[in-house]
Structure 1
Amino acid sequence: MSGQVSSDTPSDKPDLILDLKGLKCPLPVLRTRKALKPLAPGTLIELETTDPLAGLDIPHMCNEDGHTLVSSERTETGHRFRVRRG
């Protein structure tokens, strides 16, 4: 189910939270990839961004890298994503 939104509930506590606010493209994707690389498959991370392009870039990265986009939501300042490592 790579790159798709799964049925996990938003109440699932993430194993790692990344604050990527203030970073511009391509840094949110690069930092997310770097953070995911050492983690075990199935690990849930949450990231917050302010870069408007992250709304496209993070789902695309999940699809390309085989991770599951658990949720994606807009916030007052940008986006919040929950990604499960593939």
Structure 2
Amino acid sequence: MTVVDARGHRCPVPSLRLAKALETARPGDTIRLLATDPMARIDVPHMLADGPHRVLTVQDVESGLEITVETGAAPSD
């Protein structure tokens, strides 16, 4: 599992860091985003709404938010 720590950063940094991690992830990988910006709860699912990746969980944790994403297959050209 890859962990992306974007705690202490405001929008759009958490989503951008997640997007960068998704670029190098393989299909089926799991990425956990740690964020303190409450907008990540809205931004990340919105960013992934068109697939192929999907949000598995969004949880409040002591240090902010923990969002777990499962990667999907990259679109074929």
Same fold (TM over 0.5): yes
Which consecutive unaligned segments of at least 5 residues does structure 2 have?
Answer: 73-77
Partner of 2:38: 52
Deviates more, 1:66-75 or 1:27-36: 66-75
Partner of 2:22: 36
- Aligned-pair identity in percent equals 38
Deviates more, 1:18-27 or 1:76-85: 76-85
- After superposing on structure 2, the runs of 4+ consecutive aligned residues of structure 1 that deviate more than 6 Å are none
Shift of 1:52: 1.2
Per-residue CA shift, 1:14-40, capped at 9, x if unaligned?
Answer: x21111100110010011000110111
How many residue pairs match? The answer is 72
Q: Which has the higher strand share?
A: 2
Matched, 1:23 2:9: yes
Q: TM-score, normalised by structure 1?
A: 0.76
Q: 1:17 to 1:31 in 2, by over 3 A?
A: same
Which consecutive unaligned segments of at least 5 residues does structure 1 have?
Answer: 1-14
Matched, 1:85 2:68: no
Coordinate RMSD, CA, aligned? 1.2
